[in-house]
Amino acid sequence: MKLDSIFKAIGVETEDDINRLTEYFLVTQEESPEQVNLIHPNEVLKAIRHFVSDSASPNKVTAHKPTVEFDSSAAERDSGNDAGYWNALASVLPHSHELKWDALLEGMQKYHGVLAQRAKLIEETDKLQNQNSELRMLLQQYIGSRGNQDLQIPPTHTIPSEVLRDYAIDS
C-alpha cells in the first residue's frame, strides 16, 4: 500500500516506469562496465528528483489534479470586508467568558505558587529530618562514650531519664 502511494506520487504507473526509475539508482563502474552498484543512500532523494523532472513532459498528464479549481473568469477578490471579518473574529468569545478565563488563569497562578511553596517546605523538612537523625546519632555516641564514665558528674546524670530511655543507655 505504501509503495503504491509513493509510486503514484512520483508518477510511476507502468513496469517501464519502474525500470526507468531503477536506472536512476544504479551506478556503473568505469573500470568494469558490467559491474553495477547502487548509489549512496544520501543520493536517493536527488535521484528521485531527477527521475520526476525527466519524466515530467508537457504532453504527459500528471496523476495529481488540483483539488481546488479556480475560476479564471471570476472577478478579483474584494478585500474590503477583511477588516470587518478580523474584527468579528476577535470577538468570538463573549466578554463574560473572557473574564472567566482570566479568573481561571489567576487562580491557577496562585495554585502554582502554593505548590511551589509546598515543594520548598517538603525539601526543607527532608533536610531537617536528615539533620535530626545525624544529631541523634552524635548524641548517642556522646552519651555512650566510655570517657564519660571517668568524669565526676557524667552527662548521663544531668539528662532526664526519659531521654536516656529513648537512647537505651544505662546510667
For residue 25, the model assigns a pLDDT of 86
What pLDDT does residue 149 have?
76
Look at residues 149, 146, 142 and name the one whose alpha carbon lies nearest to residue 164.
142
Q: What are the residue ranges in the chain where pLDDT is below 50?
A: 61-70, 170-171
Residues 6+ apart with CB under 8 A from 126: none
**pTM greater than 0.85:** no
Query: Quick one: pLDDT at residue 168?
Result: 58
CB-based contact 13:4 (threshold 8 Å): no
Supply the pLDDT for residue 66.
Answer: 41
Predicted local distance difference test score (pLDDT) of residue 114: 97
Q: What local confidence, expressed as pLDDT, does residue 64 receive?
A: 45
What's the pLDDT at 167? 62
Contact 29, 35 (CB under 8 A): yes
